[in-house]
């Protein structure tokens, strides 16, 4: 039976540390003289475009060309992220996710990336751990503002890249936030949500996640075969 597993990056495949949001804070400070002071909840489960847009609103920056301003900030972000991310020792790979990915491969299921990172940022983060070339396709933060729309787009992208069509009920999103669970549910897909932060566990359990686990080694892929 055909299945499509979509893997999130931050908090799921890797822990990025606080490098990206601290970098964005610095860019805002340099460009506008004030910072949004991004916290975990401001970025988790969101898209890069929406994070920047919300940051501009928080520091009350108004512009007639908002899209151009967002594009400029993200351009600066990518220019600085490569060096900052490669030099840092904070990011690490979640081994349980890699084991789940290997199980998906062994079952010969299809898989790809679904992330709020813009593609250039996703590439920088995954290349640090030699994971970029492990995925044949992905959908990224510039493809849609809404995470739910990214699930829909991933289905379309799978047809283009893999020449495979999938019912939404046969798509499984692997993530770590309530937003991941909701994005899957809104499309009639399933979700495997890893609880990476203790004080977020209750919110995850109350979400629409198909399953919530502390460790992705707990996942039995047979539970998703129907």
How do residues 156-165 score in pLDDT, each as one tens digit? Answer: 999 999 999 9
Cα 29 to chain centroid distance, Å, stands at: 25
Longest CA–CA span in the chain (Å) reads 55
Asked if the model's pLDDT at residue 155 lies above 80, the reply is yes
pLDDT for 211:
97
What is the C-alpha separation between 27 and 177, in angstroms, rounded? 26
Cβ-based burial of 68 (10 A; exposed 0-12, middle 13-18, buried ≥19): exposed
Kind and range of the H or E run holding 26: helix 19-32
Q: What is the pLDDT of residue 94?
A: 98
**pLDDT bucket at 225, cuts 50 / 70 / 90:** confident
Please give the average per-residue pLDDT across 82-92, as a whole number.
Answer: 93
Contact 55, 77 (CB under 8 A): no
Distance CA 109, CA 107 (A): 5
Q: Which distant-in-sequence residues (6+ apart) come within 8 Å of 208 by Cβ? A: 181, 182, 184, 185, 191
Residue 191 has pLDDT above 90, yes or no: yes
The answer to whether residues 152 and 188 touch, using CB atoms and an 8 Å cutoff, is no
User: Residue 224: pLDDT band by 50, 70, 90 thresholds?
Assistant: confident
Identify the pLDDT of residue 138.
97
% pLDDT > 90, the chain: 91
pLDDT (tens digit per residue) in 96-129: 999 999 999 999 999 999 999 999 999 999 999 9
């Amino acid at each position: 039976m055909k299945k499509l597993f979509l893997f999130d990056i931050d908090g799921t495949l890797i822990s990025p540390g606080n490098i990206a949001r601290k970098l964005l804070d610095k860019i805002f400070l340099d460009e506008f003289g004030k910072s949004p002071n991004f916290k975990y909840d401001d970025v988790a489960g969101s898209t890069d475009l929406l994070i920047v847009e919300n940051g501009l609103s928080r520091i009350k920056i108004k512009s007639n060309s908002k899209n151009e301003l967002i594009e400029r900030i993200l351009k600066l972000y990518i220019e600085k992220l490569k060096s900052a991310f490669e030099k840092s020792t904070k990011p690490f790979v979640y081994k349980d996710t890699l084991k789940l990915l290997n199980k998906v491969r062994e079952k010969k299921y299809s898989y790809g990336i679904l992330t709020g990172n813009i593609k250039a940022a996703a590439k920088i983060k995954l290349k640090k751990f030699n994971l970029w070339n492990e995925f044949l396709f992905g959908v990224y933060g510039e493809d849609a503002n809404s995470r739910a729309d990214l699930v829909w787009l991933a289905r379309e992208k799978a047809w283009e890249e893999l020449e495979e069509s999938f019912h939404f009920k046969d798509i499984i999103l692997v993530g770590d936030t309530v937003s991941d669970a909701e994005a899957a549910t809104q499309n009639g897909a399933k979700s495997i949500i890893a609880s990476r932060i203790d004080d977020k566990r209750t919110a995850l359990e109350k979400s629409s996640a198909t399953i919530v686990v502390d460790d992705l080694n707990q996942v039995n892929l047979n539970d998703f075969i129907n």
